[in-house]
Structure 1
Amino acid sequence: MDRLVKPDRNEVQVLFIKSQKCSSTFKLTNLMHTMTVAVSLTTTNPSIFSINKPFSIIPPLSSSNYTLQLIDYHHHHPPLSDPPDAVTIRTAMLPTGKAHHDDLRRLFSKPGPHVFRDAVLTISFVGPTVAEFLITTHHTLTHERFKLFTNSLSQCTKPQLTSLIKPAIEHGNAETVAVLIKAGANPNFRDSAGKSLIPYAIQSGNFDILKLLVDSGTRIDNSVDLVLHEAAAMNRIDFMEFLFDSFRDELDVNSVNQNGETPIHVAAIHGHVEAIEFSVSIGVNPNAVDINGSTALHFAASNGNLNAVEFLLECSNVKYVRNRFGKTAFALAEENKHFQLGETLRFGDLLFRASRVDDVHALKRLLGEGAWVNRTDQNGWTALHWAAFKGRIKSVKVLIDHGACVDLVDDAGYTPLHCAVEAGHLQVAILLIGYGGSQVSLKSFQGVVATLDLESLEKHVTLISS
């Protein structure tokens, strides 16, 4: 005979609740038709668990209920063990049908063929407290612990499942998040601040969790979630691309946080050039100012982020913008002793000065050191605008030879040729036209400045063209 009794389950599930007495019941049925069976129940950890009837008698074809209880356990986390604790069921036939407690103790204290080891019931703890403990203490669950986690959800309500999803995301375990959603957790849960789960997924740094939430239907409220800000702070371009593609209709890429900062401000604060570049590529305004009038360039310069400063100088026109404290980006760099950065911020100024005074040697040196030839000042003028306006023909030649754009317009729509004509510099105007300058009709300059000999200019242009 294989066994004398049959348990109604393979494991005993204990609903664990902090600071409360925890217990669970199970049932044993006597399989013998005519014989009474004696039962002995023991646990692998008697210092933690007790059973209300460690010795008992079950009449033929009858059943008996038993209660497993946690003994005076005052900890806030469940007493998990590996391997799990268990209840061992031993039985013996009792021909007399009756026995006292001491008789049963003696019966099972003597090993022999008369004692059957009928079953071993695993003790498992279930409920939200157990699930949360497993989530928050293990970033990666072993196979056994993952089984415990899955089992622990069996006694959780849907609101309890939903309350577990945020800590699961924060601890970066995509498997547990997937199990919770499958079990009934609401992926569109919002916390007390109105935030969706998406910002927490970004902060976890786990792309699988982010994708899982989006695939599960999680939506955002960008005025609260500010998902691009979150991703920019971490320089996670993969997150930014995915978020932009997934929530294009809900995203205002120029939305601001409580400090008036756009994603490009956040990226600049951290010196994340890749995030700055991506932000610009999707339409974030590099010239935007926060509540203090500071631009992304102010932050990059203040924090000494050289690469960020160089990129922002190329894509924005805010080098001379003063914040509410009257500081330019250059002033902040100097103030914080980022002297090399200060030179970078002054590069354009030095280039403009050399162009104005026709310092060809300084021009060549600055351009050789990496000064951007088409950088603009606060009015949109390039060094070529300045050289043309001042009639510095040698500087004009050097600048054009180094890639200066002859048709670049300033904030008023003027090209370097316009500047040369307005200032009456005939030779410079001829040179610019010879290099393929503005296609604007020469007659359009008539009346702009009376000192320019337009007929002579047209004659020279004709000679050049022929």
Structure 2
Amino acid sequence: MDRLVKPDVKEVELNFKRDQKCTTTFRLSNLMHTMSVAVSLTTTNPSLFSFSQPFSIIPPLSSASYSLFLSQPSDQPPLPLSTPHDVINVKTSMLPTGKAHQDDLRRLFARPGPHVFKDATIPIAFVGPHVVEFLISQQTRISEFDSFFNKAISGCSVSDLTALLKSAIASGNANLVSDLIDAGAVVNQRNSDSGSLLSLGVGAGNVEIVKVLIASGCGIGNNSADMVLREAAATNRVDLIEILCKSFAGIDLNWVDPEGRTPIHVAAAHGHVETLKFCISVGGNAEVSDCEGWSPLHCAAEKGHLEAAKCLLDCSNVKYAVTRDGRTAFDIAAANGHSGLLGVLRYDDVLHRAARLDDAHGLKSCLAEGADVNGRDQNGWTPLHRAAFKGRIECVKVLLNHDAQVDVGDDAGYTPLHCAVEAGHVQVALLLVAHGARANVKSLEGVMPINLDRFKNHPALVQPLCHGKERA
């Protein structure tokens, strides 16, 4: 006979509960038909575990139950980080008399010899939600993590697994999320404090976790749809927003939160230009106002995000929109000390006005305040276009001295030189040519030639323009 007793399990599972006494039971059966068997139970870690009956007697063809205790309550499961798993060692000896005192049994197993059988080795496994939660928090430190984790989740209920999904998502490990879902965790169970699990996944910023959740049927939920998009917009995760838009047909980038703000408001407040461009390109409205009348441009202005403000100015018409308390984006930027935005929010307009009115002093003041010398109006005109068209030669000189671009084209491809020539301002045209302006300039609409026939009476202008055409 290979052994005298047989355990009823291949592994003893101990459901660990934080700071509580933990115990589990198992059974041993005597395989002998006519003889009692003495049993000795020990573990590889006697300071950690104890038994209800370390020594016992099992009658012929009978069974006995044994309890394994975790000796001291603990706030974390005592998992071995590198050594083999703890095990129960079962030793047996035939007992012809069928009777013996505890001291007799202790002496029996203390004396080595052929009368003692090493009958079974039973691994001890810690299971339950507290074990899983600990493993998730320590996943990078435990060498046998996978084996511990897979065993631990086997001792969890569906509600346990579902609750543990939050910790797994926060850990950023998509494999753990997938394992919990495969074991039975419910992905669409929500509560009031955190919204949908998909919202948590987006908040964690992990694309793989978001994909796992979506593939497992996790919905976006009407109550948390705006939260999901806001999370992605706040972290500039265009990839996550794109996945959400592709995965959920009804998603709307104009959804608002309780304050009336859209994901575009959020992206603007964080200065995330990439997210702004993407949201607007797929139907997001850059001109919507929140409950206080703030547009996304107001949000960008409050935080001083120059590039975000420029992006919004290019695709919206809210430069002079006012909040409920009557403030423009310029007012908000100025109140918060963001002088770098004042040019694009107002001073550029003042610059255009000064160029139109031949106010060279005003031009210099605006440029000193930070106005963009090449700032464009709604038609793509720069201040140099306007000064050239009006023949304001002193303003043209100021602008050229401040590095204004001489060959920049407007939305139709016209350069400042085109404007000066078309308006018949010879001296301005000569000044522009002297600063490198070309007669023929390629634009998005092709080459924009200057018609010289109407300037036959201005030989001083025609000759340099012809030279300019040759150079072009």
How high is the TM-score relative to the length of structure 2?
0.76
Please show how residues 2-81 of structure 1 align to structure 2 within 5 Å.
Answer: 2-18=2-18, 20-71=20-71, 73=73, 75-81=74-80
Identify the residue that residue 186 of structure 2 maps to in structure 1: 186
The answer to whether the Cα contact below 8 Å between 1:237 and 1:278 also exists between their aligned partners in 2 is yes
Cα distance in 1 for partners of 2:198, 2:374 equals 40
Query: Per-residue deviation at 1:211?
Result: 0.1
1:92 aligns with 2:98: no
Identify the residue that residue 255 of structure 1 maps to in structure 2: 255
**CA distance 1:312–1:371, change in 2 (3 Å):** farther
Cα distance in 2 for partners of 1:45, 1:105 equals 19
Query: Per-residue deviation at 1:269?
Result: 1.3
1:153 aligns with 2:150: no
Report the 3-state secondary structure (helix = DSSP H, G, I; strand = E; otherwise coil) of the residue aligned with 2:154: helix
Query: Per-residue deviation at 1:199?
Result: 0.7
State the AA in 2 paired with 1:210.
Answer: V
1:403 aligns with 2:409: yes
The answer to whether the Cα contact below 8 Å between 2:4 and 2:92 also exists between their aligned partners in 1 is yes
State the AA in 1 paired with 2:409.
Answer: G
Identify the residue that residue 293 of structure 1 maps to in structure 2: 293
State the AA in 2 paired with 1:130.
Answer: V
Identify the residue that residue 306 of structure 2 maps to in structure 1: 306
State the AA in 2 paired with 1:325.
Answer: D
Please show how residues 12-411 of structure 1 align to structure 2 within 5 Å.
Answer: 12-18=12-18, 20-71=20-71, 73=73, 75-82=74-81, 83=83, 84-135=85-136, 137-138=137-138, 140=140, 142=142, 144-193=144-193, 195-226=195-226, 227-247=228-248, 249-358=249-358, 371=373, 374-376=376-378, 387=386, 401-406=407-412
State the AA in 2 paired with 1:195.
Answer: G
Report the 3-state secondary structure (helix = DSSP H, G, I; strand = E; otherwise coil) of the residue aligned with 1:219: coil
The answer to whether the Cα contact below 8 Å between 1:253 and 1:284 also exists between their aligned partners in 2 is yes
**CA distance 1:336–1:299, change in 2 (3 Å):** same
The answer to whether the Cα contact below 8 Å between 1:314 and 1:375 also exists between their aligned partners in 2 is no
Query: Per-residue deviation at 1:308?
Result: 1.5
Please show how residues 433-448 of structure 1 align to structure 2 within 5 Å.
Answer: none
* Equivalenced residues, count: 418
State the AA in 2 paired with 1:375.
Answer: D
Q: Deviations over 1:111-131 (max 9, x none)?
A: 333322222212222222322
Cα distance in 2 for partners of 1:50, 1:200 equals 42
Q: Deviations over 1:173-220 (max 9, x none)?
A: 212211111111111111225822111001112111100011111111
The answer to whether the Cα contact below 8 Å between 2:139 and 2:145 also exists between their aligned partners in 1 is no
The answer to whether the Cα contact below 8 Å between 2:264 and 2:276 also exists between their aligned partners in 1 is yes
Query: Per-residue deviation at 1:384?
Result: 8.3
State the AA in 2 paired with 1:121.
Answer: I
Aligned-pair identity in percent equals 48
Cα distance in 2 for partners of 1:372, 1:215 equals 49
For structure 2, the residue ranges without an aligned partner over 5 or more in a row are 397-403, 415-421, 430-440, 442-453, 455-472
Cα distance in 2 for partners of 1:319, 1:107 equals 94
The answer to whether the Cα contact below 8 Å between 1:400 and 1:406 also exists between their aligned partners in 2 is no
The answer to whether the Cα contact below 8 Å between 1:384 and 1:404 also exists between their aligned partners in 2 is no
Report the 3-state secondary structure (helix = DSSP H, G, I; strand = E; otherwise coil) of the residue aligned with 1:310: helix
State the AA in 2 paired with 1:80.
Answer: L
Report the 3-state secondary structure (helix = DSSP H, G, I; strand = E; otherwise coil) of the residue aligned with 2:121: strand
**CA distance 1:256–1:392, change in 2 (3 Å):** farther
Report the 3-state secondary structure (helix = DSSP H, G, I; strand = E; otherwise coil) of the residue aligned with 2:261: coil
State the AA in 2 paired with 1:157.
Answer: S
